Structure 1
Amino acid sequence: MDSGCSRHMTGDLSQLVNVKEFNGGYVSFAGGESGRITLKGTVQNGILSFENVNYVPELKHNLLSISQICDRGNSVHFTKKGCHVLKPGIVIPDDWFLMTAERKGNAYVIDMNKKPCEEITCLFSKISEHDGLLWHRRLGRVNMKNLNRLAKGQLVRDLPIKDFMLVEKCVACAKGKAHRKPHKAKPAPSTKAVLELLHMDLFGPVNVLSIGKKAYCLVIVDDYSR
């Protein structure tokens, strides 16, 4: 898959079907060399077919032109794991774009000297806010200070190295830190017998150990007899 290739090309004649003679001129290679286009045909894999594939005997690689694929209504998405050809009609939201390379002829050219617009800077900040809340939840409601420490130290796999921001309020953290209202005292117990309802509380470790050198204590109170 080549975004700099203006036409589909192959140097392997066995890849082509419906071959026709075609005088397509010459193709320039790296290093000043060139090859002559003598035939053209179709490449098929059972699912997709690519027409008008030029045959260049001197070509050592099979090249699919991204611009030619896009001309058929498809779109192409590159990731670190591979290249995906998307079905026609799939529209990517504009706020997902960080940078755009304009098509000139059948190649895609990007001007690195062009300054990014203010919208791109705003988009970066929105990404940080979203990622901050996402990783805050993933890592057990960790605070932003420790989250940035993990990111800068590269201590978590796939954690982006950036300054995280948490603008949105975490509802779970707010509820967990809220003070509970005191329970009103009951004039009479609601239970009718011993062991019907038990209240248990485990606390520790304590500074002063028990006689048996224990640091934790389980308190059990019977609701009826207290």
Structure 2
Amino acid sequence: LLCQILHCLLILLQLVEIVLFIVDSGCSKHMTGNLKLLINFVEKFMGTVKFRNDQIAPILRYGDLVQGAVMIKRVYYVEGLNHNLFSIGQFCDADLEVAFRKSTCFIRDLKGNDLLTGSHGTDLYSITLQDTNCPNLICLMAKATSSQAWLWHRRLSHLNFDTINLLSKNDIVTLHAYFATEGIHHQTSIARTPKQNSVVERH
């Protein structure tokens, strides 16, 4: 039964889009070309932006970007902008600290709390955000043969207890209820597990 569970996994997940923002010292304001990332729109002409290819685009509106408990105010929407940009100057003007290390960057408040954390790669510092404005629920079901089991194990990124607990708190997965219905006695702090014929015993 346990092998069937591993080979036939059914989990409800919320569809999450990964959004990358480049931390830019030459950018005067936070900017995005993706209007669906913003809330609280204000339609107002805010000037123009000149792209690297000398094309000029108007800034016709701005809004707020929400990431968890953090709200980033006045993110300009620039139609045609292919990269999302965070302005170091705008963070500093908002009394936030921007700190850089060899492989990481941090946006902190005056108390030293990390609000956003980014990474360094290919000569750029970037911050990865998750767009949770997508309310669509998807269902993943995997039925794998023994030769394909490793593939699904890798695709699910070695699901750990923190992730399982998070799913449980959101009433998506109730692991302990599942164990109870299947007669599985689950202990996480036992020194060794009793076995019989190389199979874990159920109590």
TM range, smaller chain: 0.3 to 0.5
Q: With structure 2 as the length reference, what TM-score do the two structures score?
A: 0.42
**Greater strand share, 1 or 2?**
2
Q: With structure 1 as the length reference, what TM-score do the two structures score?
A: 0.38
Task: Give the structure with higher Rg (CA).
Answer: 1
Higher relative contact order (CA 8 A, sep 6+): 2
